[in-house]
Structure 1
């Protein structure tokens, strides 16, 4: 009996530490949590002189976007991301999912802790 109880405790602990990769369609379920999100880059809005962040819309382009990665241009350069060539490529991104107060609907990750575009 002790072994079964111990096994249940260990499985529960392991499950709580594991991070699954989610599709963009489930991002709203994970607001406030750090997760891996996967999808396909639908469009990229490059930074401008007035706004030094780029917007990577995943799976659907703006204004129908379902998930956005917001990344500072200096951070993108440091990671050697070629955002101009990202459209249509697979993206895997890790970070805390938030919802911007102004738009209030589209989940996003700002300056992800990890990002891969292939």
Structure 2
């Protein structure tokens, strides 16, 4: 009985994520909301010496990127893959979509997402 309950919870969780999955170009319409965003990694900018912020640009490289994932070095240590290994791969990222300093001219982004997964 316990296994059936766990299976039901897992199915309900996956189902809810599926309903909240959007393409990267749709992110600008969902500022302030939790969503799973998917797209192809176009470019990566690793934190340089003395800096702590890494950037993953989705679908197009910076400055034409339509969506960016911002990850601190500290958070990056908790991930199970290296940023260098995800170039040109399709990823799913879940978190709150925002824009930097509430400037509507900025690229939509997720800062330190709740999770990132590669398309299998």
Sort the TM-score into its range (normalised by shorter chain).
0.7 to 0.9
Q: Which residue of 1 aligns with 2:6?
A: none
Q: Which residue of 1 aligns with 2:108?
A: 107
Q: CA deviation at 1:51?
A: 1.6
What runs of 5+ residues in structure 1 fail to find an aligned partner? 1-16
**Structure (1 or 2) with the larger CA radius of gyration:** 1
Q: CA deviation at 1:74?
A: 2.0
Q: Which residue of 2 aligns with 1:10?
A: none
Counterpart of 1:75 in 2: which secondary structure? helix
Counterpart of 1:22 in 2: which secondary structure? strand
**Alignment partner of 1:91 is 2:91:** yes
* TM-score, normalised via structure 2 length: 0.78
Deviations along 1:23-62, one digit per CA (max 9) or x if unpaired, are 0110011100000000000000001222211100000100
Deviations along 1:3-42, one digit per CA (max 9) or x if unpaired, are xxxxxxxxxxxxxx94421001100111000000000000
Counterpart of 2:76 in 1: which secondary structure? helix
Q: How many residues align?
A: 102
In structure 2, C-alpha distance between the alignment counterparts of 1:110 and 1:52, rounded to whole Å: 13
Q: Which residue of 1 aligns with 2:52?
A: 52
Counterpart of 2:77 in 1: which secondary structure? helix
Counterpart of 2:80 in 1: which secondary structure? coil
**Alignment partner of 1:79 is 2:92:** no
In structure 1, C-alpha distance between the alignment counterparts of 2:23 and 2:48, rounded to whole Å: 29
What runs of 5+ residues in structure 2 fail to find an aligned partner? 1-14
* TM-score, normalised via structure 1 length: 0.79
RMSD: 1.8
